[in-house]
Structure 1
Amino acid sequence: MTESNRLLKSSSWVLVVSWLNRAMGLVSVFILARLLSPEAFGAFAVLTITVQIADVLTNFGVEQYYIQKKDATLNELNSCWSFNLLIKLLVSVLLFIASPLIAEAFDKKNLTLAFQAISLLPALNAFNNGYIFHLKRTLAFQKFVTFSAAGQLIGSVCSVAIAFIYETYWALIIGLGVNTGIQVLLSYIILSYRTKFTTSQLLISFAFGKWMILKNIVGHARAKFDVWYAASTFSLHSIGGYNTMKDIAMLPARELIGPVFQVLYSYMSQEKASKERIYVTCLMMLLIAIPSAVGLYLLADDLTPLLLGDEWTEYGPVLANLAVLTLSFTAGNVISDAIISRGKVKHVFVYDLSTLLISVAALAFFHQFISSPTSLSAFRASIGIFMLFSGLFWLSYCLELTFSRLLRALTGSSIAAAIMGGCIAFSLTLPIPFYLSLMLSVSLGIGVYFAALFLVVKTVIFSQEDRHTLTAMMRMISARFF
């Protein structure tokens, strides 16, 4: 099998299972939004802050280290997995002990038991069969992606059942725990090879990971500073509204676009001399993320009550503002992975730290104007746009790429998406029933975008190399599906 066919096959498996996984997750979230109040989602948002920080503090990048390391062995895989397990066990124990203090710090002592329960998740997740790292390295994604689908399905059923009976945020916690537990269990049942615990070469990935963990801490703070601000300023109702809208805005980036770039990280890492792979990955990212952000922005006010219920209608403008995160979050992940794939973790840390300081300084300067979830979302959107352009510039600087080529790809994709957006905006004004209008907008938007992209490719907006790549992609897709 050729490299391009193997990449396409891996991408197809990841996409199909991830979309199925996300479809189940979306259905459960939309049902839960009607069973639980925004306050319950606000409480869960506060609780997950602890888990997210724990995950950041224990992520030494062992998976990325193993994937990008040339001639990595299975013994090194065992060492990486063992180191990751020990670190996450330690942090989970410390978080469990500190849960009463954490609850008091958030002024929510009634959540102490919930903090203790959710603090166990990092350790549980670390028990996943580490052989998954090797499968990712070899682009054999089809052998394990079904784990997440099974975990999502069973976890979602548990969450909905508990929410229906008890109407409590515990439904979200238990569902998350069941999801993780099922994935861990299946990783040992289905995969024949099992990583083994070892104390040999435990610190083999530490030189790579010391910058990785600093990068993760700063990167997480940069991604979550707005949620922390909301948690310290707004009511639980507003926290739940803002955080839920942000999660929905980032769903395309995490669950639709993100799985593709799991494959592409391995693709970028395998041949360190090829810059063209970075360009191709960035081009694919822009082609998918930009129309996703435009479509979500235009449909946000209609989608919010449709998906979540009338109780969430007031947060429609928040979702519209945060739609740009679909693009900026995806771009940030791709840029970070591209630089890391060349072993330059320090460069990612420097960029993340610089943009975090700028973001926090901007928040301190404008905080008197940020008094509601809507104003906070507008501020966060502006920061997202800044991070997009600065990230592309930093990528070109670190990897000696041509910045103008990246800007031309951004411009060409944006023109096609703008034409699509105009057609969607027009379709929303037609005097037809709501559901028919929504279906027409989505289907028309997709068709117009690809038609506009086909025309833009014929111009000089895209670079000659990107025009060649897009033409080859169109031919490959046409041959495969038609």
Structure 2
Amino acid sequence: MFHNKKHSLTSGAIIMIAMRWIDRLVGIVSTFILARILVPDDFGIVAMASVIVAFADIIFDLGINIALIQRKNPSQAYYNTAWTLRILQTATVAAVLMILAPFAADYYKDARVTAVIQMMALSLMVTSFENVGIINFQKDLRFVDDAKYVLFKRLVMFVMTIALTFVLQSYWGMIIGAFCGRLAATIRSYMVHPMRPRFALSEFGEIFGISQWVLVKNISSFLDRKMHIFLVGGLATTRITGGYTLAAEISDVPGTDLLAPINRVLFPAFARARDNLQELTRLLLRVQAIQVMVTFPACVGFVLTAHEFVPVALGEKWVFIVPFIQVLALSNIIQSINSSANYVLTVIGKMRLLALTSWIQLGLFSTGAFLLRHDLTPERIAQLRMGAIVMTFGVSYSLLMRNIPGLTVRMLARGTGRPLLGCLAMVGALTLLEAEVAAPNWLMLLLKVATGVLVYGLVVLGLWRLAGRPDGAESYFLNKLKRPAPAAAAAVPSEVK
């Protein structure tokens, strides 16, 4: 039974992940184009408003998607209640935002924030009417349908945002473009799925029973991800806030954004295996090894090429964000390792433990910020965030091992040794290259990327051969390269060493 599920998961997920990466690529390209058209001050206005809007949205988030995916056979009444709750939740958020917008502008010392927050609130209301039936794309592992829908939304938003920003030469192009993308996606959701939800609250009690700890976890996770941006917005200029926010977004690319498509597949996959701990453990080890193999060199490489990447991709006006990118990208290495563990804890119903972990990390960051409140700078805020992430690194895995019998540190570490040594070799090679070669930024960037890929690949493959070619991430990727996609589905390693 699980063999068939794994085969279906892997073969379908290959296409879905590729499409989701295309979606992320479109978003990244959009960011780079907007960075060329706009100035840091424009990004600052949008960033300031986005933090307030997202925080208000998360406070009232009932975790409806998780409740629907975890429920094995939800009735139509369950879907109707979920859809109704989402609309009520968003209407509450929109009303709160309309009231708080002027106060947010006072905190940021910029009156332009008020109108932007209010427009974003309207965008949230549009999204709340999205067809709840599209959740079944994830629930039923219909990866291609899910990816097509998300990609449609991204492309509409991309075209509208770039066109409007180019015409208006203002941050309003980003705001209105996002609104158009959300509206188009909501309409499209009723075209791609036949479900027609109605207003109902008959299943409120059961959904809320699942969602209350999701809500606690979401609030802490949001604060952990956005509190540093909020603090920067309060103590720095709009220009610095815009630069810091763009740095945070770009820093997510090599770690979080590379994993986002995989993680979207993982949650329903883990959910299906939650009653078989042996299978769940096997899936966790396999996925973690593959994630580490990709994200370790991507994040480290991004840190080492930031000085060349920023002026080439964004322009000289953004060079001041290089230190932000380097610190935040390092933080994402730890975040990427924790992602699969967090998904497993979620599907086995340990949301309280996840919430506790998030609050511990947030508490450490807040304590550091309070102690250094008279000497805070954007650079120091980024460093505090990284420190809090590092100090809570082991908490998630400690909780995971307590709840997954048989899982050990040795098993978890098997997939990290070779990538770690490969990264160390890459750091040495790029440091030597930078000391010995003088070249324009674009050429140095190409040389660093080529050298990093070559050195990392050779070291990892060499260590893998010396270890006797065990099943692991290396064999997984080599099989993908050697075989057609359908055959590769059977090549997923059963155990990571």
Q: Of the candidates 442, 457, 473, which is equivalent to residue 470 of structure 1?
A: 473
Q: Of the candidates 19, 23, 26, which is equivalent to residue 24 of structure 1?
A: 26
Secondary structure of the 1:59 match is coil
Aligned 8 A contact 2:310 2:319 in 1: yes
Aligned 8 A contact 1:18 1:256 in 2: no
Secondary structure of the 2:415 match is helix
Aligned 8 A contact 2:361 2:388 in 1: no
Q: Deviations over 1:334-387 (max 9, x none)?
A: 33222011011111111111221122112222344432x333323333333334
Answering whether residue 261 of structure 2 is matched by residue 248 of structure 1, we say no
* Superposition deviation, residue 472 in structure 1: 5.3
CA–CA separation in structure 2 for the residues paired with 1:11 and 1:336:
20
Question: 1:8: which partner in 2?
Answer: 10
Report 1:351-362 matches (<5 A): 351-362=357-368
| Amino acid in the other structure paired with 1:473 | Y
Q: Of the candidates 102, 109, 122, which is equivalent to residue 100 of structure 1?
A: 102
Question: 1:58: which partner in 2?
Answer: 60
CA–CA separation in structure 2 for the residues paired with 1:247 and 1:454:
32
Aligned 8 A contact 2:21 2:258 in 1: yes
The structure-2 alpha-carbon separation of the partners of 1:38 and 1:277, relative to structure 1 and needing over 3 Å to count, comes to: same
Question: 2:296: which partner in 1?
Answer: 290
* Superposition deviation, residue 7 in structure 1: 1.8
Question: 2:491: which partner in 1?
Answer: none
Aligned 8 A contact 1:290 1:327 in 2: yes
Answering whether residue 330 of structure 2 is matched by residue 327 of structure 1, we say no
Aligned length: 477
* Superposition deviation, residue 468 in structure 1: 2.7
Question: 1:390: which partner in 2?
Answer: 395
* Superposition deviation, residue 284 in structure 1: 2.5
CA–CA separation in structure 1 for the residues paired with 2:314 and 2:388:
27
CA–CA separation in structure 2 for the residues paired with 1:280 and 1:359:
32
Quick check: 92-101 or 258-267, which moved more? Answer: 92-101
Answering whether residue 452 of structure 2 is matched by residue 445 of structure 1, we say yes
| Amino acid in the other structure paired with 2:222 | H
Aligned 8 A contact 1:339 1:399 in 2: no
CA–CA separation in structure 2 for the residues paired with 1:167 and 1:476:
48
Aligned 8 A contact 1:211 1:349 in 2: yes
| Amino acid in the other structure paired with 2:288 | C
| Amino acid in the other structure paired with 1:470 | A
Q: Deviations over 1:71-119 (max 9, x none)?
A: 4445433332332222122222332243233333433333322221111
| Amino acid in the other structure paired with 1:355 | Q
TM-score normalised by L of structure 1:
0.91
| Amino acid in the other structure paired with 1:277 | L
Answering whether residue 312 of structure 2 is matched by residue 306 of structure 1, we say yes
Report 1:454-469 matches (<5 A): 454-458=461-465, 467-469=470-472
Question: 1:363: which partner in 2?
Answer: 369
Q: Of the candidates 203, 206, 221, which is equivalent to residue 223 of structure 2?
A: 221
Secondary structure of the 1:120 match is helix
Sequence identity, in percent?
21
Aligned 8 A contact 1:156 1:175 in 2: yes
**Gap regions ≥5 residues in structure 2:** 489-497
Question: 2:412: which partner in 1?
Answer: 406
The structure-2 alpha-carbon separation of the partners of 1:381 and 1:98, relative to structure 1 and needing over 3 Å to count, comes to: closer
CA–CA separation in structure 2 for the residues paired with 1:314 and 1:110:
24
The structure-2 alpha-carbon separation of the partners of 1:188 and 1:223, relative to structure 1 and needing over 3 Å to count, comes to: same
The structure-2 alpha-carbon separation of the partners of 1:91 and 1:434, relative to structure 1 and needing over 3 Å to count, comes to: closer
The structure-2 alpha-carbon separation of the partners of 1:10 and 1:203, relative to structure 1 and needing over 3 Å to count, comes to: farther
| Amino acid in the other structure paired with 1:62 | I
CA–CA separation in structure 2 for the residues paired with 1:265 and 1:104:
40
CA–CA separation in structure 2 for the residues paired with 1:214 and 1:87:
15
CA–CA separation in structure 2 for the residues paired with 1:448 and 1:120:
50
Aligned 8 A contact 1:296 1:323 in 2: yes
Q: Deviations over 1:35-68 (max 9, x none)?
A: 2111111111110012211221132222112222
| Amino acid in the other structure paired with 1:413 | P
CA–CA separation in structure 2 for the residues paired with 1:452 and 1:79:
54
Q: Deviations over 1:210-268 (max 9, x none)?
A: 11101111111122221121111111111111111011001233432111111011111
| Amino acid in the other structure paired with 1:375 | R
The structure-2 alpha-carbon separation of the partners of 1:473 and 1:189, relative to structure 1 and needing over 3 Å to count, comes to: same
| Amino acid in the other structure paired with 2:453 | I
Alignment root-mean-square deviation, CA: 2.5
CA–CA separation in structure 2 for the residues paired with 1:472 and 1:76:
43
Quick check: 186-195 or 293-302, which moved more? Answer: 186-195
| Amino acid in the other structure paired with 1:289 | T
The structure-2 alpha-carbon separation of the partners of 1:198 and 1:456, relative to structure 1 and needing over 3 Å to count, comes to: farther
Question: 1:316: which partner in 2?
Answer: 322
CA–CA separation in structure 2 for the residues paired with 1:332 and 1:127:
33
The structure-2 alpha-carbon separation of the partners of 1:293 and 1:471, relative to structure 1 and needing over 3 Å to count, comes to: closer
Question: 1:479: which partner in 2?
Answer: 483
Quick check: 136-145 or 101-110, which moved more? Answer: 101-110
* Superposition deviation, residue 270 in structure 1: 0.6
Q: Deviations over 1:261-315 (max 9, x none)?
A: 1101111111112322222232222222211111111111111111111111122
The structure-2 alpha-carbon separation of the partners of 1:194 and 1:422, relative to structure 1 and needing over 3 Å to count, comes to: farther
Aligned 8 A contact 2:292 2:416 in 1: yes
CA–CA separation in structure 1 for the residues paired with 2:7 and 2:426:
30
Aligned 8 A contact 1:292 1:326 in 2: no
